[in-house]
Chains A and B, each alone.
Chain A
Amino acid sequence: MQIQAATIVECTHCGETCTDETILQPGASFCCGGCQVVYNILADGGLLDFYALEQTDRHVLAVDTADYAWLDVPKLTDRLINFRAEGRRHVELELPAIHCASCVWLLERLPKLTPGVIGCRVDFPHRKASIVYNPDQTGLREVATTLSRIGYPPIFRNTTEETAIVDRSLIYRIGVAGFFFGNIMLLSFPEYFGWGVPIPIPIAIGIGIGTDAWSMGEAVSYLILAMSLPVLFYSGRSYLKAGYYAITAGEVTIDVPIAIGMLALFGRSAYEILSGTGAGYVDSLAGLIFFLLIGRWFQSFTFSRLNFSRDHRDYFPVSAYRINDRSEPTPVASEDLSADDVILVRSGSLIAADGILLNDNSPAIDYSFVTGEADPVRINAGAEVFAGGRATDSALHIRVTKPANHSYLLQLWLRDDGVENRTEVAPPKRLVQVFTAVILLIAGATFLYWYQLDVSTAFRAATAVLIIACPCALALAAPFAYGTLQRLLAVKGYYFRGPGAVRDLGEVDTFVFDKTGTLTEGNVGEGLQYFGPMCNKIEYVLKRMAGQSRHPKSQAISDALNTQNFTKPSPPVGSITERTGRGIQLDHQGSNYRIGTAAFCGLNNTEPGTYASVAGEAYLKLTNEEVRLREGIATTLNACANQGETWLLSGDHEPNSNFWSAHFHPDRQWFDQNPFAKLRRIEHLRDTGKKVLMIGDGLNDAGALRAAAVGMAVNESEAHFNPACDVIVRADRLAELPSVLQIARRVRWVLFFTYGLAFLYNIIGLSYAVGGTLSPVVAAILMPLSSVSIVVVACLGAWGVVRR
């Protein structure tokens, strides 16, 4: 291996131009050591074909060195293993880094990279891999380490997966309904064209039924009736049940008229067929149930790679190092920690359980994700520390006071706040009530009118009214309009939990913003002031140094040095030494690099601030340390203020400057809010009748996100952790919030139009029904026609609203 001056060379691994220094080895060149490591792993496994695959998206596989020692403890891994047999273990690992076809290719060749791995199958949409390995040759720890070395670090959750039993009953019900719908329709065809005249033929001798009284038409209609039974009682059962429950609870939901319509259809058809007076409307019944189920399926769509209901426990660490009796640190499951255990939290790791700090050096703990506090806090020995905090500059020794599952923040999730399930959308309650009442009135009036003339006509007309008025179209409009919107808005970077969340967003009138991480990109320095010429190499080293430290000033420098050349995997610059409260330093290729206070950097007679120096010479200074709004957010805030009240809800201290008053009314700014206070603020707004949209990012907002009418979590990338919410939005797309709001509001006009159309169909159908002349053919044409056209209009309308 040799190092030579930069020429234009492309990295064999990541494909980027090597700018600073190129590492050469026979047949390959690399921009950094990280790329070289991955290349050599693949070369050893005979997997260099990886680079021959067409790559639309070149791989930047960062080398990750997470600590997987705890995977060696059998007790901890038991729940991860799905299946065990002699020489075989099956595990399913979540690999959020999977992003293209090449990833699938590489991961499925894992057996070549790790001896002992028998097979690996990737589930791309869920970003998961099912791995089979031989426990005699390898272990879960080796598998996880290999995966993370080739750039796919697995993530482990505390919550036991309950999704093992996938609910496929809806698919089965659609299958049954569709199957019998098609067959019934086919067998009903002769009836439509008037060929149903009884042909006096004996029934097939093979079945051995009596030969005299039956006709072909009758036999077929009995068959049809028999086929409607599974459709009604298997596929349509949920509607009948829901309608029954609603009536017994004294409510009128959309399921009530649907259930009435279904029963009227079936009762009337069964009567006609069994009494031999007609052919019935069995095809309309099967079609109705089929279309309703399709609507439900359309609504149940979710983004499989996103998780909207994450528990806080998924954020907290799975394991901790226990060091009771000054022994070697042993990995244990967080849930097994008990009071008085002493745990070691390494720098950069999360605290697993609430406890008392034992360190003497007053280390800094970063609670930004759990409390919203932007700056790390220094904690003295004997003070309380909470689970979810991150050790920043030094390792922590903590005496656990509460078991991990009793931690302070858990209480946010244990509250039962009666938040309803918002995934399904139904038409407005009022509309359904009026609709049902009107239909029952019309049916009653029709019955009374005909009753004076002829009882059987009275029954025919009244049931026909109930049949034709069945609100299939009404039930389908909202799911398809909002469901289409849900899919189209995903293209804009707004991922909704379900169609119901889109509807709720359209009704929002109050906007509450979290500050850190949502409106701002952290308290970062606006810019850097240079003292001499810029040098690529120095920038590179400084960026990597600063990136290793979690101190906010280091982070700010790391962010400010964000230029295009630095998107590569970590180069080997060595480890930094951190001096608490002063700065960090590094000896690299004979030079001493320092980032920290002026004195620490060896600079005298300069104003205080954060500097970076190389060999004692000032190189740059962090300037203008003020809050910086995300790009385009200022306009977004103004647009939201025009559409409702805007509030600021921050876990941070109130700043001295009145920076925020330019964006929020002075009375609508809340600072120093802990997670519980945030929750109460939202509940208070909700109780005063506001429809609140809460926009936040961290665990500290989790309670508030749930209490709000719509909780929107801002996320830097899809693979990042986000608290439970209704909408996940990519951070760079938050500025488009006003236009998304507009869309969610405008789609109501599409709904009004489709409801109007549905009523028009009903009026046409009712005019037949009231007159007692609704023939099966008219019903068989009108009912599917109305359903299909409503679906088409709702989808096209929603599409049109987004396009505008």
Chain B
Amino acid sequence: MQVILLIILLSLLIAIGFLIAFFWAVGTGQYDDEVTPAMRILFEDTKPPEDE
């Protein structure tokens, strides 16, 4: 049963990794503008003139 404790500690360690990832994402400004990326993804790529 004591292995559960080990697993708890390991999972906590992994989870803290995600917490650090969250800090990084916020710190680099990825949540500062939540609107524009959603618009940008819907734009068609411009075709090169030769295709027309």
Contact = CB atoms under 8 A, between A and B. Distances in A.
A171 B26 contact: yes
B15 A204 contact: no
A46 B33 contact: no
B46 A216 contact: no
B6 A206 contact: yes
Contacts of B23: 172, 175
A655 B5 CA distance: 85
Interface in A27-47: 46-47
A216 B2 contact: yes
B2 to A, nearest CB: 5
Given A201-B2, A204-B3, A126 B12 contact: no
Given A123-B33, A171-B31, A172-B23, A220 B40 contact: no
Contacts of B32: 123, 166
A187 interface: yes
A104 B39 contact: yes
Nearest to A168: B26
A49 to B, nearest CB: 6
B35 A124 contact: yes
Contacts of A105: 39, 43
B10 to A, nearest CB: 10
A166 B27 CA distance: 9
B26 A108 contact: no
A233 interface: no
Nearest to B45: A49
Q: Which applies to chain B's interface (DSSP): helix, strand, loop or mixed?
A: helix
Contact of A124 (B4, B31, B36, B42): B36
A187 B15 CA distance: 14
Given A46-B49, A171-B26, A183-B12, A204 B39 contact: no
Contacts of B22: 175, 179
A108 B40 contact: yes
A122 to B, nearest CB: 6
Interface string A166-185: 10100110011001000100
B51 interface: no
A206 B36 CA distance: 49
B1 A199 contact: yes
A175 B26 contact: yes
Interface in A120-148: 121-126
A175 B19 CA distance: 7
Contact of B2 (A123, A187, A203): A203
Interface string A215-256: 010011001000000000000000000000000000000000
Contacts of A199: 1
B39 A168 contact: no
B42 to A, nearest CB: 7
B46 A49 contact: yes
B40 A168 contact: no
Interface in B1-29: 1-6, 8-9, 12, 15, 19, 22-23, 26-27, 29
B22 to A, nearest CB: 5
A171 B31 CA distance: 10
Contacts of A87: none
A49 B44 contact: yes
A101 B2 contact: no
A609 interface: no
Contacts of B36: 104, 121-125
Counting chain A CB atoms within 10 Å of each CB, the highest count among B4, B5, B23, B44 belongs to B5
A100 B34 CA distance: 15
A51 to B, nearest CB: 13
B8 A187 contact: yes
Given A108-B40, A124-B36, A124-B39, A166 B29 contact: yes
A632 interface: no
Contacts of B43: 53, 101, 105
A187 B7 CA distance: 12
Contacts of B35: 124-125
Contacts of A47: 46
A190 to B, nearest CB: 10
B48 to A, nearest CB: 9
B34 to A, nearest CB: 8
Contact of A168 (B6, B19, B27): B27
A202 interface: yes
Given A49-B44, A124-B33, A171-B31, A101 B1 contact: no
Nearest to A112: B46
A189 B6 CA distance: 18
A183 B16 CA distance: 11
A621 B14 CA distance: 80
Contact of B33 (A126, A204, A219): A126
B33 A203 contact: no
11 contacts: A124-B33, A124-B36, A125-B35, A166-B29, A175-B19, A183-B12, A187-B8, A203-B5, A204-B3, A204-B6, A219-B5
Given A123-B32, A176-B19, A223-B9, 17 more contacts: A49-B44, A101-B42, A121-B36, A123-B33, A172-B26, A175-B19, A175-B23, A175-B26, A179-B19, A179-B22, A201-B1, A204-B2, A204-B5, A204-B9, A205-B2, A216-B2, A220-B8
Interface of B: 1-6, 8-9, 12, 15, 19, 22-23, 26-27, 29, 31-36, 39-40, 42-44, 46, 49
